[in-house]
Structure 1
Amino acid sequence: MSKATANLGLFKYENTDADNISTFNIDIALNENWDKIDVKTKEIDDKVVTTINGKTGNEITLSASDVGAGTIAQGKKADTALQDVQLGANGGVAKQDDLITLQNLVTSESANNSKQVPHLGTTTNSSDAYNITTTETILTNQKFTITFNANSITTPTLKINNGIAYAIKKANGNSAKLYASTYTLFWNGTSFIQLGEGGDYGTAIATDVRNTKTVGTENGVVSGTLDLSNLLSDNIRSGVIIGGIVGTVGLVASDNVIFTEGVTQASTKIPTRHSARFSTNLSGSIRIKYNVQSPNAVNYTGFSQVYKNESPIGTLHQTPSTNFTTFTQDFICNIGDYFEVYLWVGTDTQVNSEYLKICFNDIYTNVI
């Protein structure tokens, strides 16, 4: 005799004498049994898993929203916690209870706004008074993002859902300067603090900055107005460096009078300085003019000559006339050179000089 198993109907022998002596049939006893097992296994594999949020199948991928998470980050955090607590270090197969635990954890995380940075939307405004309408609840010590619809002017404030207007400030306590853009703010319970804004500003204003540059100020970025287009080497005195530009301009002899001296007299036959000493602090050339006369009759003479660094360098002039004669001569000079007019008498008893003039282009020098 033989019998079948209760569930799959697999063939098996009765443990009787008749069966013991019967012929073993491999198809009935083995092969047909294996076929039944294989078919049943396939039926189990093909069974559909319970639908989750409209997704069905043996293997499905759940998104953050499928388990009630507001963001992917919250879903990942909940999934990590579920793996650690429910499945252990070695992982495993999630059960219905595991999914319920996961959904509860995500719901809890979603409700904790202090761990999120919600975006409130775009404001409306009247001048510096901004308002935002939102379903988000902002707690003390929470940050959020917000898009301002217009630039601020001086002291911006913000109302949430037409509540109390609170100041929007920088980290240093000054009023924020806002542009029509998106910002991250922090609500500290008394004011909204602008995050990510730079540090303190200096004292530079537009007139301190070149007109090709801009500068950050408490009122935002401003364009410079300082015009340095004439800051050229040929507009700067030789030896002077301004803004990295080395000056090349020296003294140039001209009729432009820089210094004038009145009448002087000499009555000695030894060449003696009878003028101011004129010192230069630039290189170049200068023009020296002066008038000389002998106050007595003809054939009485006086002499004059320009000295440089106490050595004669100019033309030696003889003055036989009672009328003033003008002498003019140009000289090359270097930084630190000094010039003087020397007078002395020949056969006369006195020689007079007047109206000594030092002339060159209008650049600063020292007269001593």
Structure 2
Amino acid sequence: MPTKTPNLDLYKVNGETDGNDTFNVDVVLNDNWDKIDAAVGNIKVDIPDASLTEKGIVQLSNVTSGTRENVAVTEKAVSDAALQAKSYTDQQISLVTETGIPKLVSYPLLVTATVDNQKVFEIPLDLFDANTDTLLVAINRAVLDSTQYTVTNTVRNEAGEVTQRAKITLLSGVASTSEVTMVVLKNVPIGPDGSINGAVLAANSVPINRVTGLEEALNNITRWGAL
């Protein structure tokens, strides 16, 4: 004897008792298909996009420097952001002594003008920070003072990743192939009068042979003391 399904009332043939009955295509197949189609058509999927105030569908993202508020970060994105932050922190820690006094670390850099009258040059150092570092600039070995150029600071995202390196802009352009030499003194801020505060230098961070005349002066003091 045939039966009906409990939800959609679909016609079911009993293979043990109805095997000799005439196969009715409309009853056994077509009517069932119509019921299924009608039931599926009545299902409405109307889930809104998620927002800060409403639950809903949300897209996943691996971006660690975005500003969108309608996507969800993945486990990979969180891990990448943590690694970037740790890398930047480790770099900064490496520039400080155990007593917390900044080390004197210098970075000599050389870039070459690629076009005539070039004024803008990138500082090829991700660690550069115009707020705490001193920058010395020379063009073809002629040293410039700070009034002959301006500095655009390094730009970082929330994770500490560099999105744009610092740049210098010369007041006067230079010829193609001119050599622009830069020296970055890390964590050595320069005063408004152009002086460097020696209090920021860690003990034993400056090799004696790097300070002009100091070794000779110390030798003279030693000789005088022996007299």
- Larger relative contact order (Cα-Cα within 8 Å, sequence gap ≥ 6): 2
Alignment TM class, shorter chain as reference: 0.3 to 0.5
Structure 1 or 2: more helix by fraction = 2
Q: TM-score, normalised by structure 1?
A: 0.24
